[in-house]
């Protein structure tokens, strides 16, 4: 078997698979951001905090109510999504007539509050959460040991991402949404309740972030800062993809996960910045992003 830069093709394949798992998180988070941006025209800085909330609610459901992971899987996104709806109604909806930058600042402030409150109550060392017994263990694929839970992450995120894409691009509901994105006034004139659509869309985008949080709870350190650093990477993912298309957000998310995975093998020191470097290059060559329409 030939070796490429000291790494066997099997090991490389294993690393690519791991990259895909990271990509799953990028894809789900950037998808949520893209959907919210599409309709509300705001960058949801609270997204990272809402991802973290998803993980915390998962923990809280088990800790206080004895509800297992399988209950958390639908409940946590619903609860966090509902809190998102409250946030949209109370705060964000007051800003639509203003410059979009205010939405960014508002959600940044909200993220600080959420993180601060949880830090006060739970500290930062992280809370324990185990992988559900049905998904523990793993498969020996010959070239690597793949924990069942990681396979589960890929499965869920692929289904959710492409399910979302299908609903938006191929169904009637999606057509309304796209219409409202293009021209809210006209869509409203046709009798559709645009404000309600906006609220629900924000709730759905937030729920996506929370779902990613549920998936992350058993494998990543569950602490109030878990979303703060991640969200900045996801911003870069969004800039690279451009926010023109849903599919763009998904593909860029998975793709950059793979690229990052490769960097970890060949140049681990650079793995933290590789996405930002790609962002700089994309900005130079195609300022609107890979899938973006020029603003």
Interacting positions 184-243 with other proteins (CB under 8 A): 219-221, 223, 226, 229-230, 232, 235-236, 238-239
User: SS3 for 206?
Assistant: helix
Give me 286's structure tokens.
Answer: 């195609």
Among 9, 65, 82, 119, binds other proteins (CB under 8 A): 119
Contacts to other proteins from residues 26-45, by CB under 8 A: 37, 42-43
Among 2, 5, 64, 99, binds other proteins (CB under 8 A): 99
Stretch binding other proteins (CB under 8 A), from 56-64, 68-76, 109-117, 159-167: 109-117
Q: Which residue's structure tokens are 């800085």?
A: 45
Q: Helix-strand-coil percent breakdown of the chain, rounded to 5?
A: 75, 5, 25
CA nearest neighbour of 169 among 157, 181, 158: 181
Asked if residues 168 and 246 have their Cβ atoms less than 8 Å apart, the reply is yes
- For the bound state, the minimum distance from the C-beta of residue 213 to other proteins, rounded and expressed in Å, comes to 13
Q: Does 74 bind other proteins (CB under 8 A)?
A: no
**149-154 — which CB contacts under 8 Å span 24+ positions?**
149/218, 149/219, 150/17, 150/18, 150/21, 150/219, 152/215, 153/21, 153/24, 153/25, 153/215, 153/219, 154/20, 154/21, 154/24
Among 60, 68, 78, 147, binds other proteins (CB under 8 A): 147
- For the bound state, the minimum distance from the C-beta of residue 5 to other proteins, rounded and expressed in Å, comes to 13
- For the bound state, the minimum distance from the C-beta of residue 201 to other proteins, rounded and expressed in Å, comes to 17
Q: Does 104 bind other proteins (CB under 8 A)?
A: yes
Among 123, 171, 175, 186, binds other proteins (CB under 8 A): 123
CA nearest neighbour of 240 among 273, 270, 283: 283
Among 86, 109, 171, 186, binds other proteins (CB under 8 A): 109
Nearer to other proteins, 162 or 225 (CB): 225
What is the spatial distance between Cα 135 and Cα 147, in angstroms, rounded to a whole number?
Answer: 8
Among 35, 36, 62, 110, binds other proteins (CB under 8 A): 110
Nearer to other proteins, 100 or 178 (CB): 100
Q: Does 142 bind other proteins (CB under 8 A)?
A: no
CA nearest neighbour of 225 among 115, 123, 89, 127: 115
Neighbours of 118 (CB within 10 A): 18
Contacts to other proteins from residues 250-289, by CB under 8 A: 261, 264-265, 268-269, 271-273, 276-277, 279-280, 283-284, 287
Stretch binding other proteins (CB under 8 A), from 51-59, 126-134, 165-173, 194-202: 126-134
Query: Concatenated DSSP letters for 137-177?
Result: SEEE-SS-EEEHHHHHHHHHHHHHHHHHHHHHHHSHHHHHH
- For the bound state, the minimum distance from the C-beta of residue 212 to other proteins, rounded and expressed in Å, comes to 12
Q: Does 112 bind other proteins (CB under 8 A)?
A: yes
What angle is formed at CA 158 by the lines to CA 157 and CA 163, rounded to 5 degrees? Answer: 100
Beta strands of the chain (E only): which ranges? 138-140, 145-147
Q: How many residues bind other proteins (CB under 8 A)?
A: 75
Among 31, 53, 57, 127, binds other proteins (CB under 8 A): 127
């Amino acid at each position: 078997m030939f070796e490429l830069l000291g790494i066997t093709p099997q090991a490389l394949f294993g690393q690519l698979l791991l990259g895909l798992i990271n990509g799953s998180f990028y894809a789900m988070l950037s998808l949520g951001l893209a959907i919210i941006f599409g309709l509300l025209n705001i960058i949801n800085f609270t997204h990272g905090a809402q991802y973290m909330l998803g993980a915390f609610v998962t923990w809280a459901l088990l800790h206080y109510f004895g509800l297992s992971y399988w209950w958390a899987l639908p409940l946590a996104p619903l609860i966090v999504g509902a809190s998102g709806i409250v946030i949209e109604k109370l705060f964000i909806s007051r800003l639509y007539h203003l410059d979009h930058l205010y939405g960014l600042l508002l959600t940044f402030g909200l993220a600080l509050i959420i993180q601060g409150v949880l830090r006060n109550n739970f500290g930062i060392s992280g809370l324990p959460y185990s992988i559900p017994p049905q998904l523990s263990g793993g498969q020996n694929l010959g070239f690597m040991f793949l924990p069942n839970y990681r396979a589960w992450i890929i499965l869920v995120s692929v289904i959710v991402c492409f399910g979302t894409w299908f609903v938006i691009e191929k169904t009637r509901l999606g057509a309304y949404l796209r219409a409202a994105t293009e021209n809210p006034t006209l869509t409203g004139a046709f009798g559709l309740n645009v404000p309600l659509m906006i609220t629900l869309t924000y709730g759905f985008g937030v729920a996506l972030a929370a779902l990613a949080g549920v998936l992350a709870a058993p494998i990543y350190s569950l602490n109030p800062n878990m979303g703060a650093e991640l969200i900045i990477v996801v911003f870069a993912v969004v800039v690279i993809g451009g926010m023109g298309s849903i599919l763009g957000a998904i593909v860029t998310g998975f793709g950059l996960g793979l690229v990052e995975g490769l960097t970890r093998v060949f140049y681990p020191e650079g793995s933290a910045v590789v996405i930002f470097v790609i962002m700089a290059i994309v900005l130079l060559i195609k300022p609107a992003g890979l899938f973006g329409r020029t603003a």
